[in-house]
Structure 1
Amino acid sequence: MEKIEVNIIELLEFLEELIETAPKVPITGKSVIDKKEFLEVIDQIINHLPDQIRKAQWVMNEKDRILGDAQKQYESTKSEIMEMMKQNVENHDIVKEAKVRANEIIALAQRDAKAIRIGSREYSTEILAQLDREIEEKRNNLISDMQKAFEYTAKEIDEKLSETGTKIKENISELRGM
């Protein structure tokens, strides 16, 4: 799992680098990116995610299988008990023992199912929380970078407009002096 997370993080960092190093469009501060390259990296990220999702799905399927097996064992034990009761009504100790055994099996199955359910929730929550933190961090970095780029571009435009205004005023003064 660690290797998959590292790959996803590396791919997200590569996307961030693509955005940061992309040429800027004057005035708007927007970046021009290679759409094909960007989409290929996103596809790689998507290809890594299903492994983690499949693991969570396996946990859920295993829980369902265990509950199904427990239900089958319960039904099988219940049928055996009914048959035993028909054959040996006077021997009720066997029936009691079978019921105790059936209840033990059900209790074990329920405990196992609960442990798997809790484990799968914790695993899913952990993965999603980590991904959310990473996305939030990347989003904040991207917004910060975009703000810096916009401020730099706005400053350049302001300086150029000021220079142009000064030249126009100088030209007007020169024309008045003629």
Structure 2
Amino acid sequence: MAGNQKNTLDLKVLELLEEFEDKLESYPTVPLTGKILIDRQEFVTIMKDIQMLLPDEYQQVRWMKAQQQQIMEEAQAEAHSVVDRAHAEERELLEAAHHSEQQMLQAAEIKARELINAHEISRLASKRAQEIVAEAEAQAAEIRNGAYEYAEEVMKKVEYNMSKVLQTVQENIEELEEYK
């Protein structure tokens, strides 16, 4: 009985495909192009009828393919979100470093002005101001380097997560190919 149902199903699919082919051949061609104008709804109906006759396995494969696409889109959205957050954090760190640098420079300038009153004090103040500026620049460079290292670390995490997602997708594709 099951074999008979399969043969009936195969016959119906073949009949629909023949109908599809007959319709394609019956439509007039557009001059000089060889293309035809078709009734879209007619062909969509035939294709839907064929799809309804296909076994559940084919429907599951279509569903799995749609799920795969959704997973890829979600992974891309997550990756973009992570990258955007990393850029925002990098900007915040750089702004904080710049603000800190400005505060240190202002503090150094104020300190230098206070010490300019006497010659020796002036010389010492000038020397100390240079040290403070050098320290501020060194700290700013260190903060800037830290921000870049943090951004690099976040990007590496994104890359790792994306590779995991891609690996999962590849494994899903391989599983799908086993069902062929």
Taking structure 2 as the reference length, the TM-score comes to: 0.49
Taking structure 1 as the reference length, the TM-score comes to: 0.50
Higher relative contact order (CA 8 A, sep 6+): 1
